[in-house]
Amino acid sequence: MSKKIKIILTVGARPNFMKIVPLLHEMKKHPEFAPVLVHTGQHYDTNMSALFLEQFDIPEPDINLEVGSASHAVQTARIMERFEKVCIEENPQAVLVVGDVNSTAACTLAAAKLNIKTIHYEAGLRSGDKSMPEEINRLVTDAICDFFFTTLQDANENLIKEGHSENKIFMCGNLMIDSLLQNLKKSNDIDMQFKTLSGRTIRLKEDFVPGEYGVMTFHHPVNVDKKESLEELVDIWVKVSKKIPLVFPVHPRTRKNLRAFGFEDHIRSSARLFLIDSVGYLQFINLMKQAKFVLTDSGGIQEETTYLNIPCLTIRPCTERPVTIWQGSNKLIKVHEIMTEVQLILMSKGKTGEVPRFWDGQSAERIVKVLSEILKR
């Protein structure tokens, strides 16, 4: 029997799970692969990590580096230090990283210096905005990876412009959409009862009804770390919730800041602004697919709403996922434009779009096929 392809698949933060899981499931169908799942522990809360693994029906990671939270440099350094040891012990043929979080860049750096082949899924995305840590992570990762899997044509062009050779770049589609399609039906059966941060119990179909509520997510430092920016947002959330109920699963970073800046009372002043703990994947896609619109600063949600054809208002100056703007249902707007845009959506004038090429649920299959060819060489 020929030697197995030992490959380390890395995850660290919440948005990594939905990209790795379809790959892991697909590799298990191919006996030539021996995948090892390594969790860096960047995200560690149950709702940010364990609940995701449970809902995706995959076993505990083979190795957890348990790095936890710290400043960017410390978190990155801790991951590198611990991941280097894993690479030496496991001696894999390749390391595959996904997305743009600190874990992505740190694992790539550690593996590349040991001359292990490195592969980046979701390569080539560029916002051009280096004030976002994710952009730095993307640039660092792509500068040293050996192979690139992209989700859209712009990403191929960015990589070529940066000097990468075309035969190392593979556009095989979007793994997040694989996960979305695999879980849409399953999400119908999930319990949709939540506790708000003020202790009230709310239920879908009772306190907010399908098609007549908005979903929000905000956690990017530019929006939530400064008191003035967060205050401007809180004011708008309260105003919008007077027109339509808003459900907001709150990221731990945002929750901490809302409390520290003393905005919780203002939030409680609106009876239809529902702040809840961050939720699992199945609850989130159930919330999203029945929403009238989504208001966000997330990267991945811009793609999921494009697939679901739900108007998405993204509060950012730029996006690394331009296809969601020119082809999908996403719009980049400023905080002061939120109210006008929501009103347009309420008059059924929200943006609609189309699904980009290869966002079809077959991406893992295409990627694993390519991996088996390039890693056998």
Which residues are annotated as catalytic? 219
Pairing of strands 330-333, 201-203: unpaired
Determine the interface stretch with ligand UD1 among 100-108, 110-118, 331-339, 359-367 (rule: CB under 6 A): 100-108
109 contacts ligand UD1 (rule: CB under 6 A):
no
Residue 288 dihedral angles phi and psi, to the nearest 5°: -70, -45
223 contacts ligand UD1 (rule: CB under 6 A):
no
Minimal distance in Å, beta carbon 248 to ligand UD1? 14
- Exactly one of 14, 19, 78, 351 binds ligand UD1 (CB under 6 A); that residue is 14
Minimal distance in Å, beta carbon 252 to ligand UD1? 3
- Residue 285's H or E segment, with its range, is helix 281-289
42 contacts ligand UD1 (rule: CB under 6 A):
yes
Given the complex with ligand UD1, which of 74 and 335 has the nearer CB atom? 74
Minimal distance in Å, beta carbon 71 to ligand UD1? 9
- Exactly one of 20, 21, 48, 279 binds ligand UD1 (CB under 6 A); that residue is 48
Given the complex with ligand UD1, which of 143 and 271 has the nearer CB atom? 143
Tell the residue number behind the tokens 């679901």, with chain if given.
308
351 contacts ligand UD1 (rule: CB under 6 A):
no
77 contacts ligand UD1 (rule: CB under 6 A):
no
Strand locations in the chain (E): 5-11, 33-39, 63-64, 94-98, 117-121, 147-150, 169-171, 193-195, 201-203, 214-217, 246-250, 273-277, 293-296, 312-315, 330-333
Given the complex with ligand UD1, which of 127 and 290 has the nearer CB atom? 127
Instruction: Work out the angle at residue 237's Cα, subtended by the Cα atoms of residues 232 and 238, and round it to the nearest 5 degrees.
Output: 100
- Exactly one of 69, 193, 198, 352 binds ligand UD1 (CB under 6 A); that residue is 69
**Nearest CA-CA partner of 333 in 309, 312, 311, 316:** 316
- Residue 375's H or E segment, with its range, is helix 363-376
